[in-house]
Structures are given as structure tokens and as C-alpha cells.
Amino acid sequence: MKSKKIILITIIFMIATGFIVGIIYIIQPGLFQRKSAATTDNYDPELLSRYQPVTDTIRTSTLSHTETITANILAGISELYTETIYISNITNDNFQLYKEKQEYLVPDEALYNLNGKEKTISYNAMVTDIRYEQHGKTKNAVVTLLNFDLLTIELQVKTEVFEKLTYDTVVRVYFKGKEYPATIARLGYEIMNDKISVSVKTEENLLPGTEVKVEFVLETIFDGMFLWANAVYQDGEAAYVDIQTQDEVNAGLLTGTPRRIKLGQRLEYIENGNTFYFYEVIAGLKPGEHIIWMEYLESSNEGTQIKEIIKNAKFD
């Protein structure tokens, strides 16, 4: 009997404690917030010598919801994208070949001259091979061309992404840090392993097998909020930023208060071959609010560079 009373008292005590903690949380929620990651009080002098506080305001821009897939230019089936040209009865006097191996041609550019007549090519091409054959007194030339206009990028796209694609979808191709416009050349119809094939065409002359990144713009958000990715820190699945009040900004204080936010898609912004990362903000912040975070800086002026990058970033 005595043990039952002890258990009952313990349960009542736990319920009362939980109730009291709940009341305190409602009245003073700040007591339960994690300490700000931005305040200089949390860093030793050695760390501060390598990091610098960076401040910014929440901005809006035209944001794009995208899907990026790594893929390759069509390869391994050369008969689909090469042409072999046979030129018969040539001599040193009646034949002139204008191009050498690995040289390029554009549409309507002449490849060779035979008996005073030029042979032009109607597509973007590269000379991949030149051979000369001798059959008795007859000499022939055999020229193999790579037809860039027949090359496509072959992708396997998840069905939920495929459903948002049309032939008018904006497509971008990235290769070695450069962006190239592209279009959807073919939308498949057979589902295999929850994916459907899509062919993409770019006007850039990329060789078969080249690995590229293909970005599909699935949706455009006008006046979407975004922030620098380094300003966000995680606590499990929860995302936080450190908010500064206007008084803290005016006083030049390097302190902030944690606030949980909801993030959308991770965004990329490429400038001069460098890639910078941002997050779309879905909830928890308002345009114009001030944030602060610690940024590793390799040079004394990088803080200014970061602010200018954020200021000038365009995601449309």
C-alpha cells in the first residue's frame, strides 16, 4: 500500500512539474531557445581571427523552383550522329580540302572544292577523320564528320518531375561552370523504375559522352524571399537564423536572437565561374528583417563581396 502511495505522489509531481514548465514556456519562451550562433561571446579569440560577422537584410527576388540532373551527351552509337562523305576521282590539281582533323564547320560553310565546285555542309560539324584511298589510277577521299545538330543529352527524369515538363519548359545546361541555353527535344512516354526518358538539345558543340548538368525550371515564384545559405544553422531537422533588432543594428552590436524558419529549395547563383548558395524562405521571416552570421573569410574585403553578391543576385 505504501509503495502505491509513493507511485501516485510521483505521478502527481511529474504532472505538476510539466504544467509549471508549460506556463513558463508560454510566458518566457526565450528561456527555452538555443543560444545564438552569431554572438561573438560564443567564440574564442583564435576562432574570431578566422571568422567575421556578416550582416544582411532579408530580400526578395524572382525565384525559380528547379530540378537539376547530371547526364551525358549521347555517345556510343556513332552511326546516329556521324556522316561519311566519299569524294571520288580526285587529283592534286582538281581537289582542295579546306579543313583538317578536329576543325569545325558551321552551316553553309564549304568543306572542299572539286573541279571548281564547292561542297558546303548544312549543319554544325567537326572533321573527325580523313582518309585517302587508291584504286589503280583512281584516288578517293573519305571524310567523316561529327554532326553536332544530331547530338542530344539523354536523361531519366522522375515521374513527379516529368509531369511538370512541357516543350516550352525553360532548360539550362551547365558545363565547366558556364551556362548554355537548351530546349527539350523529346518527351518520352514509357515509365521504367519510376522514371521517363527526356532528350535535351543545346546549341553548344559538346562532344559525345560529355558530362553536363541539366536544369529544368519547373515553377517561378515572384517576390520570393531568400537568404545566404551560410546564415542558416540546423538543430536536427529544424532550421534557424539569428535575427537582429533594429536597435542592435543601430548600435552596431554583433548579437542576434535565434528564430526557427521554414526553408524551401536550395538556390544556386553563378558569378564569374563561382557558385554561391542560397535558400528560399517559405515562413518565419519578413522582407527587410536583419540577420547576422559568422563567415569564414580568406581576405579582409570578402565580407563586402558577399553583401554585393547577395544584393545583385538574380534567380529568374
14 falls within a domain: no
Which segments in the chain show pLDDT lower than 50?
2, 21, 23-43, 299-316
Residues 138, 229 share a domain:
no
Residues 70, 177 share a domain:
yes
Residues 107, 54 share a domain:
no
Q: Where among 200, 219, 238 does a domain terminate?
A: 219
Number of domains in the chain: 3
Residues 209, 71 share a domain:
yes
10 falls within a domain: no
15 falls within a domain: no
- For residue 249, give the CATH number of its domain: 2.40.420.20
13 falls within a domain: no
Residues 265, 185 share a domain:
no
Residues 259, 125 share a domain:
no
Residues 282, 143 share a domain:
no
Q: Where among 202, 219, 236 does a domain terminate?
A: 219
**Contacts from 74-82 at CB under 8 Å and sequence distance 24+?**
74/151, 74/152, 74/153, 74/154, 74/208, 75/208, 75/209, 76/208, 76/209, 78/208, 80/150, 81/146, 81/147, 81/148, 81/150, 81/151, 81/208, 82/128, 82/144, 82/145, 82/146, 82/147
- The verdict on pTM exceeding 0.85 is no
12 falls within a domain: no
Residues 70, 162 share a domain:
yes
Q: Where among 93, 124, 149 does a domain terminate?
A: 149
- For residue 156, give the CATH number of its domain: 2.40.30.170
Residue range of the domain that includes 142? 82-149
pLDDT value of residue 57: 85
pLDDT value of residue 186: 95
pLDDT value of residue 26: 44
Which segments of 38-82 does DSSP mark as H helices, in order?
45-48
Residues 70, 172 share a domain:
yes
Residues 71, 91 share a domain:
no
Measuring CA to CA, which residue among 40, 49, 67 is closest to residue 172? 67
Residues 196, 170 share a domain:
yes
Residues 158, 136 share a domain:
no
